[in-house]
Amino acid sequence: MPILNYTTKIEVAKTVAQIQEKLAKAGAQSVLTEYGVDGCIAAMSFRMLYNGVLVSFRLPARLDPIYAILQTDCKVPYKLKTREQAARVAWRIIKDWIEAQLAIVEAEQVEMVEVFLPFAQNPKTGDTVFKQLSEGGFKLLTHD
């Protein structure tokens, strides 16, 4: 089965605007769109206040893996095997994921910071919580 949203025709700019709106409604105080050297939207960052602390998050769109999947999946039509399509697919997947996370928040199962925590950024280094844990061998989470 091909990757989720592989047939989308929705432009990246529209999807990013939808994401920005959802994050703002969920309490984000600011949303930043980051562009790569190729001019494509590479990531979105947002900030929100949590218990008096302004927490920043960064959500990257990694196009290369999606482009590779589109290229190698024989069920994906040739016309959809482009970097532009990979960008559309990547951002639609991110939008769907954000919607799912916000649904859990709305159901009061978790807090917003809780679901986005792996993407929280260290204000000094810019590294995400996930990156810091990963580079530290997840020692903070071990039973040693």
**Residue 79 domain-assigned?**
yes
Does 1 have pLDDT greater than 90? no
**Residue 28 domain-assigned?**
yes
pLDDT tens-digit map of 76-107: 999 999 999 999 999 999 999 999 999 999 99
The structural domain count of the chain equals 1
**Residue 41 domain-assigned?**
yes
**Residue 122 domain-assigned?**
no
**Residue 90 domain-assigned?**
yes
**Residue 77 domain-assigned?**
yes
What residues form DSSP beta bridges with 57?
46, 120
**Residue 142 domain-assigned?**
no
Q: Average the pLDDT over 109-131 and give the result.
A: 93
Domain span including residue 63 = 12-112
Does 21 have pLDDT greater than 90? yes
Residue with tokens 């917003």: 112
Tokens of 19: 């994401």
